[in-house]
Homo-oligomer: A and B are copies of this chain.
């Protein structure tokens, strides 16, 4: 994939105000805090003063060189903050409003968005799918003191006063993606669901399965901290792939196979195990981002003749979805604060990357606070 960095990645300060610090990607394993120009809002955009953000597994792929972005890019795509500037044409907001912004920022006005495929957003006019994920990918991101939000009208979700930054920061990506995986699985009251990998997204997918009415949620991982967190988040049964034939155990626990399997890691092994864990006619909802070709083991299905569904889901976005997720927090159905296991200030973000990358000290997610 060749990624063209767009015009909104400024080489030099754009004007009237000063500078800020931000985490800038310079090349493989070369990234860190720099002083850069503070951005400003053009028509349709907003600038958010970031009050809390986090690091995503995708950011690790970027700094390792496994997902290409242009050198000079500020990375990060999960901002909570306060509106600092509003561009022309953005209505219904005030500077100073606290807002949550999804990891993807759909325009709402292109063919893909109007067809219900916000994750394939074509940025306004074209028929072409470009992709809804822009912050920290093709435009500057959120691991900074300020970040520009494109298509602000569609993407600023006001945070109710009774919710803290910590309560909502994980909704932007992992909850939205994890719940989206549960929704794509079409989970119904009484279903049995198995979730392969209990990292941040897998934990949210497990919670999403439970929220949708699964009778039994089985969580699979091989990390003691994550299995413990899975139990804490309401998973009914945890399986440790280091010690068990997990597919056989899922089949035993479900009386022949799960109704829905959710894959939340992006490896051949988890994909194939998820597929083999299904009852005939079941649904595999895949959230992982794979590299290269997957093997799809057709012979795994009962009698060689299974009818099934494989659905892949990207993070859905938009302010309406953010609003709904915040309502789930307000009503007490969703509490992701236990996943924020570690806290750092923005200037110490390299330490946060190291901890997160090494999965040290039972880390699940790190909170990054600019000030």
Contacts and interface: CB of A to CB of B under 8 A. Distances in A.
Interface of A: 1, 43-44, 88-93, 107-117, 119-120, 124-131, 133, 151, 153-154, 179, 182-183, 188-192, 208, 211-213, 215-216, 236, 255-256, 279-281, 289-299, 302-314, 318-321, 323-325, 327-328, 330-331, 333
A215 B331 contact: yes
A107 to B, nearest CB: 7
Contacts of A327: 190, 192, 215-216
B330 A119 contact: no
A188 B208 CA distance: 11
- Nearest 8 A/B pairs, CB to CB: A92-B125, A190-B324, A108-B108, A114-B320, A109-B154, A215-B327, A117-B281, A294-B296
Given A114-B320, A305-B131, A295 B298 contact: no
A151 B192 CA distance: 27
Contact of A215 (B125, B192, B309, B324): B324
Contacts of A92: 124-126
Given A293-B296, A312-B306, A120 B89 contact: no
A255 B305 CA distance: 35
B293 A298 contact: yes
Contact of A289 (B128, B305, B321): B305
21 contacts: A90-B125, A92-B125, A109-B109, A112-B281, A119-B307, A120-B302, A120-B307, A124-B153, A128-B256, A129-B280, A182-B189, A190-B321, A211-B213, A212-B212, A291-B298, A293-B296, A294-B298, A295-B295, A295-B296, A308-B311, A308-B312
A208 B90 CA distance: 38
Given A120-B281, A215-B324, A307-B117, A256 B127 contact: yes
A183 B179 contact: no
A320 B111 contact: yes
Contacts of A292: 298-299
A298 to B, nearest CB: 5
B189 A211 contact: yes
A263 B306 CA distance: 15
Given A303-B1, A307-B312, A309-B309, A190 B325 contact: yes
B299 A296 contact: no
B281 A93 contact: no
